[in-house]
Amino acid sequence: MVINVSKKSVYWIALIIIILDQVTKFIARKYFTVTKNTGGAFGILQSQTLFLILVSIAVALYIIYYLNDHHYLELGFLLGGVMGNLIDRLFLGYVTDFINLGFWPSFNIADSFNTTAVILLIWRLRKD
């Protein structure tokens, strides 16, 4: 099942994800042990912060452009996740990861929504 929503809803979803992501990261940095990830997913591209910032901005701008014609729920997930991690990179120089399952690299709320968005987009493309 794929879900289409209004363009306005996509932006609201993204904003809620950004707030949730930033609040949980703030709490994690204050009270728990966190990982300072200077790379991308699974720790690739370590210390390539400027490159990752530029890629994040490009992805966010493309999503905003794509929203002119496609109002997909998962685009809100992806925009919120990308922006949540971009905020960390811009203001901290790294992404705060705090969810550690032991058998998987640590991650955060933004990463969870990014992964969910990609899975849903693949599902949507497979169905179309």
Q: Which helix (H) or strand (E) holds 107?
A: none
Catalytic site includes residue 111: yes
Catalytic site includes residue 97: yes
Residue tagged active-site, from 21, 69, 88, 97: 97
Q: CA-based Rg of the chain, rounded to a whole angstrom? A: 15
H-type alpha helices, 1-128: 7-31, 49-66, 73-92, 109-127
Residue tagged active-site, from 69, 88, 111, 128: 111
Q: What is the set of active-site residues?
A: 97, 111
